[in-house]
Amino acid sequence: MKFRGGYNILLQGKPDRLIEELPESETLYLPLRSRRFEFSELRVKDGQRVNGGGVLARDPKNYSVPLLAPRAGIVQLNAAKGHIVLEDISKTEFAYTERGELGHIVRQMGEAGIKRYKLLELGAWQYFCDAFTGVLPDPLGTAQAVIVSTVSLEPFVARGDVQLQEKLLDFTRGLEHLQSLLEYQPMYLVMPDISSDFAAQVRQQIRGHARAELIEIPLKYPYDNSNILARHLGLKKDDNSIWFVRTEGVIAIDRALTLSKPCLSRIVSLAGPAVDLPIHMKVIPGYPIETIRARCISNDPVRMLNGGILTGVPVEPETLGLDTECTGLTVLAEHGERELFGFARPGWDRSCYAGCYLSSLRTKFSERFTTAMRGEGRPCVSCNFCEEVCPAGIMPYLLHKYLYGDLIEGVEEARVDLCVECGLCSFVCPSKIELREQFIEAKRLIEQEKEEMRQEQLKQEQLRLAEEARREAAQEAEY
């Protein structure tokens, strides 16, 4: 599939390439929930002392993926709702013991199985997802193919080039480790199609190491999306998932398999128009959000998103620390009041996809974006902008109209399943229609209905079999 649609959003608040290591915190607040995981199976007791890398909890619905203690400390289970709090922090790390509980894996999968288990236990497997569904793949399952992306295009999640700059060697080794987990399956390495010195250095470094096919993509959002990349490569959904992992995941693989060390820190961006000094930060999960806020954000009211500007979700006031999947905090100024006579301004300093402000006469510039809506939500005006930018080749306005009329069959026929939830349609829509949210909800409802139908069919089948068995038993009794 050729790339189509896409759009680059230019906003103020882009972080530069420097990585700042934040000072250690005295207390960590580890959320028991993140985007994909729910660590409901606690493995520690209140008041227990744990070492850094020790398992605090597991997610039973996701192959028991662990929540690791980023530092040694004393566990407080009741200090903050929905969190494990670690106090009295120090840097003592636990020692990973090879082949601890691995009997069955050794028999089933040999060395590759041991490595995969190690990735799971040391926190590196969390960086993987299935390219089509976004869920965590089975660490002991068979991959159809692997896509490694060095590109992260959504403003303002942590960028791949920033993560790579000091870790090129680790990345190359990580690729080799990743290769060793596979048998014959192809591995694709996604790079930007630019000719910067750094890009040339990366290409030079990886040449001759892991056998990965290089895929160069234009730097246009959301061409780095795992789903779009898989379709671009002509891969199809089947029983074997397509593993997708970004730069930080490959570096984590190297740490786990070369050093046998847990992956405890990550690079997170702190960016957006309301951040005084946008940066990339090296932090650990559980790091207090309040400390980050006090350090880098002025006292004005702001809205903080966990993730990028298009797909991030608001950080709730009750969330006290960074979760294990956070790749960026995007901060916007919160506007409670409407601009006086805003409608009469010619728009020299603001831009829109329609190019209807005076700013379209300027050369491209980064806009200072806030949470204020410019105008009220209104019905679709059939401008077609959403279809122009949609990378999935579907018609968002049509889906919206079907949803508005409760025509769920039409929604399915218009292929809502192809939506990759990039949020571009919502961003460009001049009528401020929350298209992305509507499609996510529609997909959820369709899946739920299908599941209910599957369950009903299963129940009918079981009843039919039970009835047959009863009749046979009755006939036998008659004879």
Binds ligand SF4 (CB under 6 A): choice among 63, 112, 430, 446: 430
Binding to ligand SF4 by residue 422, rule CB under 6 A? yes
Residue type, 73: G
Mark 439-458 with x for binding to ligand SF4 (rule: CB under 6 A) and - for no binding. Answer: x-------------------
Find the shortest distance in angstroms from Cβ 154 to ligand SF4: 12
Binds ligand SF4 (CB under 6 A): choice among 49, 421, 443, 446: 421
Find the shortest distance in angstroms from Cβ 428 to ligand SF4: 6
Find the shortest distance in angstroms from Cβ 361 to ligand SF4: 23
Find the shortest distance in angstroms from Cβ 398 to ligand SF4: 9
CB under 6 A: which stretch of 52-60, 244-252, 375-383, 450-458 binds ligand SF4? Answer: 375-383
Using an 8 Å Cβ cutoff, are 67 and 83 in contact? no
**Residue list 347-366, contact with ligand SF4 (CB under 6 A):** none
Write the CA distances from 376 to 40, 44, 337, 340, 431, integer angstroms.
41, 50, 13, 14, 8
Binding to ligand SF4 by residue 132, rule CB under 6 A? no
Binds ligand SF4 (CB under 6 A): choice among 242, 292, 302, 424: 424
Find the shortest distance in angstroms from Cβ 274 to ligand SF4: 25
Binding to ligand SF4 by residue 8, rule CB under 6 A? no
Binding to ligand SF4 by residue 215, rule CB under 6 A? no
Find the shortest distance in angstroms from Cβ 434 to ligand SF4: 10
* Of 270 and 424, CB closest to ligand SF4: 424
Find the shortest distance in angstroms from Cβ 410 to ligand SF4: 15
* Of 104 and 432, CB closest to ligand SF4: 432
Binding to ligand SF4 by residue 423, rule CB under 6 A? yes
Binding to ligand SF4 by residue 275, rule CB under 6 A? no
Binding to ligand SF4 by residue 231, rule CB under 6 A? no
Find the shortest distance in angstroms from Cβ 469 to ligand SF4: 48
* Of 184 and 343, CB closest to ligand SF4: 343
Scanning the structure block, which residue is given the tokens 């930018």?
389
Q: Is the previous residue joined to 222 through a cis bond, with omega within 30 degrees of 0? A: yes
Binding to ligand SF4 by residue 299, rule CB under 6 A? no
Binds ligand SF4 (CB under 6 A): choice among 86, 397, 414, 442: 397
Q: How far is CA 32 from the centre of its chain?
A: 17
Number of amino acids touching ligand SF4 (CB under 6 A): 30
Provide the greatest CA pair distance for the chain.
Answer: 93
* Of 76 and 311, CB closest to ligand SF4: 311
Binds ligand SF4 (CB under 6 A): choice among 129, 270, 331, 435: 435
* Of 280 and 436, CB closest to ligand SF4: 436
Structure tokens at 220: 């246009």
Assign residue 6 a region (left: φ > 0; alpha: ψ between -120 and 50; beta: otherwise).
left
Pairing relationship of beta strands 129-130 and 83-90 according to DSSP bridges: unpaired
**Direct distance between the N- and C-terminal alpha carbons of the chain, in angstroms, rounded to an integer:** 65
Binding to ligand SF4 by residue 230, rule CB under 6 A? no
Find the shortest distance in angstroms from Cβ 445 to ligand SF4: 16
**Residue list 377-396, contact with ligand SF4 (CB under 6 A):** 380-386, 389-392, 394, 396
* Of 40 and 360, CB closest to ligand SF4: 360
* Of 334 and 388, CB closest to ligand SF4: 388
For ligand SF4, the binding residues (CB under 6 A) are: 380-386, 389-392, 394, 396-397, 400, 419-425, 428-431, 433, 435-436, 439
